[in-house]
């Protein structure tokens, strides 16, 4: 199944529940009318939280840049001994 | 053990597309041989007619490491990334194919962990991920990190792609799996990398991840501008509609 259909199916299911709530009026209708807004706000919060969380704990590796410079020097030394032209970029 | 094998089949083929990577291609070949001393592999350099003499350097490297270990499979001009892999694949004799960038953002020291992971799990695809413990990125400013996280959250939520790092391209594939995936992927640029992994998930291939670090040595931030973001969003919609 194409992924878009999964998403559409989920939206349809959520809408069906919402309409059922509106029709049966098990909770006061004035509350039910606000539910979609809560849903959008909740999704937005989830997104912002995930991005913020990801940014706070973004894995960085400054030591790798140093190690790479060492590897580059080592490689250049070996290769120039073997006659490979690594003098210029 | 494999060094004196006179051609024939290899177990691993490492495809490295290059364009103007004169120095980097030499460094990466050295580092691959350093980190895979006991592995039967070949390196296939697919050079798109670099004007800076990348191919001359590759020929010098062939003198050092042997023409049967370092293969130069050049093309006349710059063509797409997908076709570069396909071109390399045509000349690959390995059962497993590794794809990596030549600019040293992908360090060959992680190759043993890709190979080990594949052997342990029998995975069809082993993909390097920057966004887990022991992985990481160096050289990105806040804006670059923010866009990367935003793009990732969006894709993870909407696509459920089955991998934590969608746009990275440091991956090991079973040969037939790579052939299958390339033939069904049409995107360009790094959306291509995302399409490859999403299609692999949808086709039910077994995907495993290993942590890698990514050192961005091109310190410009120009790599990710507005047009790339638009391309990314288009790619996302395309994948939502077709996978």
List, for residues B144-160, the tens digit of each pLDDT value.
899 999 999 999 999 99
Mean pLDDT of A19-43: 89
Quick check: B94 pLDDT over 80?
Answer: yes
> Is the CB of A44 inside 8 Å of chain B's CB atoms?
no
- Local confidence band at B221 (pLDDT 50, 70, 90 cut-offs): very low
- Local confidence band at A1 (pLDDT 50, 70, 90 cut-offs): low
User: CB B27 to CB A72 under 8 A?
Assistant: yes
User: CB A84 to CB B64 under 8 A?
Assistant: yes
- Local confidence band at A89 (pLDDT 50, 70, 90 cut-offs): very low
What mean pLDDT value characterizes chain B?
90
Percentage of chain A beyond pLDDT 70 is: 97
ipTM: 0.85
User: CB B152 to CB A54 under 8 A?
Assistant: yes
- Local confidence band at B226 (pLDDT 50, 70, 90 cut-offs): confident
Closest CA to B199 of B152, B170, B166: B166
Mean pLDDT of B58-66: 95
Chain B residues whose beta carbon lies within 8 Å of the beta carbon of residue A7: 158, 240
Quick check: B40 pLDDT over 50?
Answer: yes
Domains in chain B with CATH codes: 12-242 (3.90.550.10)
Mean pLDDT of B135-152: 91
Beta strands at B136-138 and B213-215: parallel, antiparallel or unpaired: parallel
Alpha-carbon distances, residue B28 vs B22, B32, B101 (angstroms)? 11, 6, 9
**Predicted pLDDT at B224:** 63
Phi-psi region of B118 (alpha: psi -120 to 50; beta: other; left: phi over 0): alpha
Q: In chain A, which residue's Cα lies nearest the Cα of B215? A: A65
- Domain-wise residue ranges, chain A: 3-81
């Amino acid at each position: 199944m194409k992924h878009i259909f999964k998403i559409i199916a989920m939206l349809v299911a959520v809408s069906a529940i919402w309409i059922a709530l509106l029709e049966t009026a098990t909770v006061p209708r004035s509350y039910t009318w606000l539910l979609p807004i809560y849903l959008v706000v909740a999704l937005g919060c989830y997104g912002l939280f995930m991005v913020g969380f990801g940014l706070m704990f973004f894995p960085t590796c400054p030591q790798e840049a140093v190690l790479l410079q060492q590897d580059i020097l080592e490689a250049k030394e070996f290769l120039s001994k073997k006659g490979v032209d690594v003098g210029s970029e | 053990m494999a060094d004196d094998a006179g051609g024939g089949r290899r177990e691993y083929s490492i495809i490295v597309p290059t364009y103007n990577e004169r120095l980097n291609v030499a460094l990466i070949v050295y580092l691959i041989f350093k980190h895979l001393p006991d592995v039967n592999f070949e390196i296939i350099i697919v050079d798109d007619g670099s004007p800076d003499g990348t191919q001359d350097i590759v020929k010098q490297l062939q003198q050092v490491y042997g023409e049967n270990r370092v293969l130069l499979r050049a093309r006349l001009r710059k063509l797409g990334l997908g076709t570069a892999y396909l071109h390399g694949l045509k000349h690959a004799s390995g059962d497993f194919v590794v794809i990596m960038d030549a600019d040293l953002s992908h360090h060959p020291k992680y190759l043993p962990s890709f190979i080990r992971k594949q052997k342990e799990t029998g995975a069809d695809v082993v993909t390097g991920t920057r966004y887990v413990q022991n992985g990481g990125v160096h050289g990105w400013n806040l804006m670059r990190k923010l866009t990367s996280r935003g793009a990732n959250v969006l894709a993870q939520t909407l696509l459920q792609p089955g991998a934590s790092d969608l746009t990275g391209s440091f991956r090991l594939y079973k040969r037939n799996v790579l052939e299958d995936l390339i033939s069904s992927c049409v995107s360009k640029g790094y959306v291509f990398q995302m399409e490859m992994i999403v299609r692999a998930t949808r086709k039910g291939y077994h995907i495993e991840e290993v942590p890698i670090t990514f050192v961005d040595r091109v310190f410009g931030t120009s790599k990710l501008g507005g047009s790339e973001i638009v391309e990314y969003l288009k790619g996302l919609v395309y994948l939502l509609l077709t996978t």
